[in-house]
Structure 1
Amino acid sequence: MNGRYWNEKEGHNPMPSIVDLLNQFPVIASLCEQDKVDDLILSHVKIAVIMCGNLKDIPEIVNNCQSRRIHSFIYIDLIDGLSSRDGAVDFVRYFTTADGIVTTKSNQVRRAHALDLACIQRYFVFDAISQANIKKQLDSSAADAVEILPGVIPGVTKYMAKGLNKPLIVGGFVNKKKDVESAIACGATAISTSLPELWYL
């Protein structure tokens, strides 16, 4: 699943496979505040997860990303005005030109694929029990890539990455360059961070 293609006549990039994209650009910008859009479009990142805004703002934020050839994913669980229903994914498909979505919900993963949107499924690791349960779910997830939080526990990253058949993203508390390097060394394909200073790595 490569996600929907941008219109090249309008100067938009076709999205490569998500595996190739994450391998080439392992730092993902998590845009949590709209006043950081300028930082984002001036940075070195080529993948952004949009985690702020509302139905009116999202298309403009995506267009700003496209102007700098940044591939955008909408974290639909956090966008004001969207919900856990399939209609949230439909909004991204038909009213924005985003490449895909991020969600915690399996039904939205299925809907995204039906609409030819790339999808990252996010999981939260709270303790040893949740770690074991999530490990079982990762390989069976229909998402193109999976993300676990928090992402600064080397042992957890190694455990989750072992034998995984899709890209692994880690996020949460990734605050320093050494956190990025450690996560990649432990088997993560990419990291996500909301800190603009790490968007220039």
Structure 2
Amino acid sequence: MRKLLEYNPIIAAIKNDKGLEDVVKSDCNIVFLLYGDIMSLKEKVEFLNNHNKKVFIHLDMITGIASNPIVIDYICENLNIEGVITTKVNIVKRAIDKNVNVVQRFFLLDSMSLESALDGLKKVRPQAIEIMPGIMPKVIKRVSEKINVPIIAGGLVEKKEEVIEVLKNGAISVSTSNEKLWEE
């Protein structure tokens, strides 16, 4: 997973049908699918697969998917994806057990949420983490010094300079819905 992220530092975060159509024209190889429902999920994944995109589904954002770990079994049997994204530890554990790439998303709002995330990562080791918001180079540097897990910076990253700054401070990739950054 580390090599995949290093080779693809910009990840397209897709949150609507326009983004889905536009990403297939972009240079982004990795797509974070952040919208949809259980009924349209397979169609969206197949569309992206047909355009040679590596798809990670954000399970917490797909309507009709419960936070029950059985969802990982369903995905393994029915979808051709690169991995999943979630904030839920029980889903992370099941994905790890089933050898599914998992990105655990953390919202770091204050020092307590940072310490909680670091403590949690001592117990469960996802293949990568996503730190939200992604425009906190100081926090990303602090996390990267304490854990040996690839870090993705996501949320509120809007400028090339911000991408460069978070990459310099320990992030391995940046997820963004800003289509202008998909080509840079």
The alignment's TM-score, normalised by the length of structure 2, stands at: 0.94
Contact 1:49 1:74 in 2 (8 A): yes
1:68 is the counterpart of 2:51 = yes
- Aligned partners of 1:138, 1:171: CA distance in 2, in Å? 18
Larger displacement relative to structure 2 (29-38 or 132-141) = 132-141
> For the aligned residues, what is the CA RMSD?
1.3
**% of aligned pairs identical?**
30
Contact preservation (8 Å) 1:29, 1:49: yes
Distance in 2 between residues matched to 1:195 and 1:91, nearest whole Å: 31
Q: Is the 8 A contact 2:16 2:35 kept in 1?
A: yes
> How far apart are 1:139 and its partner, in Å?
4.4
Match of 1:51 among 10, 29, 34: 34
Paired letter, 2:112:
I
Residue deviations 1:125-167 (CA, integer Å, cap 9, x gap): 1112212222233344321001110110121111111142110
SS in 1 for 2:60: coil
TM-score, length of structure 1 as denominator length: 0.87
- C-alpha distance in 1, partners of 2:136/2:104? 19
Distance in structure 1 (CA, Å) of the matches to 2:153 and 2:108 = 11
Which residue identity lines up with residue 180 of structure 2 in the other structure? E
Q: Deviations over 1:27-71 (max 9, x none)?
A: 111111122111111111111111111112111111122122211
**Cα distance between partner residues in 2 of 1:115 and 1:172:** 28
Q: Which residue of 2 aligns with 1:87?
A: 70
Q: How does 1:13-162 map to 2 (within 5 A)?
A: 18-162=1-145
**In structure 2, C-alpha distance between the alignment counterparts of 1:137 and 1:113, rounded to whole Å:** 15
User: CA contact under 8 A between 1:84 and 1:108: conserved in structure 2?
Assistant: yes
Flag structure 1 segments of 5+ consecutive residues without an equivalent.
1-17
Three-state SS of the structure 2 residue aligned to 1:49 is: strand
Q: Cα distance, 1:188 vs. partner?
A: 0.5
CA distance, structure 1, for counterparts of residue 96 and residue 141 of structure 2 = 28
Q: Deviations over 1:6-28 (max 9, x none)?
A: xxxxxxxxxxxx11000110111
Conservation of the 8 A alpha-carbon contact between 2:106 and 2:132: yes
Aligned to 1:194: 177
Q: 1:162 to 1:84 in 2, by over 3 A?
A: same
Query: Is the 1:151–1:171 Cα contact (8 Å) retained in structure 2?
Result: yes
Aligned residues: 184
